[in-house]
């Protein structure tokens, strides 16, 4: 059996995290190293490694990530000022944890997206 990802261990409660939302499809918790005043990770309960590995049958879960992000943003009162949703994919995308997740960033004016050489 494949070794559990860090996020599976958080979902299953083996590693502590500040969980803000959980249902049958996704779990959301505060990022341990926040890059903005609000930085939440919304993770699929199913351990899909990344968007590059998701399948047609995961389509509803992908949509659910956005719906849950919207609900959390509203709950945290950042829906009117706005926020950013990011999904890093693979090495060039800067993905560190190989378990599909969406970053919800907000609570301040965010900088421009870009790249570094
Ligand atoms: P990625 O670079 O894969 O898109 O994002 C992974 C995120 O997971 C990073 O923002 C990082 O700070 C966060 N992270 C890494 N380890 C932990 C942890 O043990 N707990 C929590 N809550 N977040 C983590």
pLDDT digits (tens, 9 = 90+) for 1-34: 789 999 999 999 999 999 999 999 999 999 999 9
**Assigned domain for 111 exists:** no
**Assigned domain for 29 exists:** yes
Residue 115 has pLDDT above 90, yes or no: no
Total tally of structural domains belonging to the chain = 1
**Assigned domain for 112 exists:** no
- Contact predicate 23/44, CB 8 Å: no
Residue 113 has pLDDT above 70, yes or no: yes
**CATH label of the domain that carries residue 65:** 3.30.428.10
For residue 20, the enclosing domain spans 6-106
To test the pocket of ligand 1, the residue of 29, 31, 102 to mutate (highest count of ligand atoms within 8 Å of its CB) is: 31
User: 3-state DSSP call for residue 38?
Assistant: strand
Q: Which residue, by CA, sits nearest to atom 4 of ligand 1?
A: 95
pLDDT digits (tens, 9 = 90+) for 78-91: 999 999 999 999 99
117 band by pLDDT with thresholds 50, 70 and 90: low
CB atoms inside a 10 Å sphere around CB 57: 8
């Amino acid at each position: 059996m494949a070794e559990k990802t860090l996020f599976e261990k958080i979902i299953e409660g083996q590693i502590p995290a500040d969980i803000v939302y959980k249902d049958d499809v996704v779990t959301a918790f505060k990022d341990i190293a926040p890059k903005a005043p609000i930085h939440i990770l919304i993770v699929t309960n199913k351990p899909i490694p990344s968007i590059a590995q998701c399948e047609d049958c995961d389509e509803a879960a992908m949509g659910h990530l956005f719906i849950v992000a919207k609900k959390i943003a509203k709950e945290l009162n950042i829906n009117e000022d706005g926020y950013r949703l990011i999904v890093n994919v693979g090495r060039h995308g800067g993905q560190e944890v190989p378990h599909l997740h969406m970053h919800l960033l907000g609570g301040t004016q965010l900088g421009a997206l870009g790249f570094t050489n």
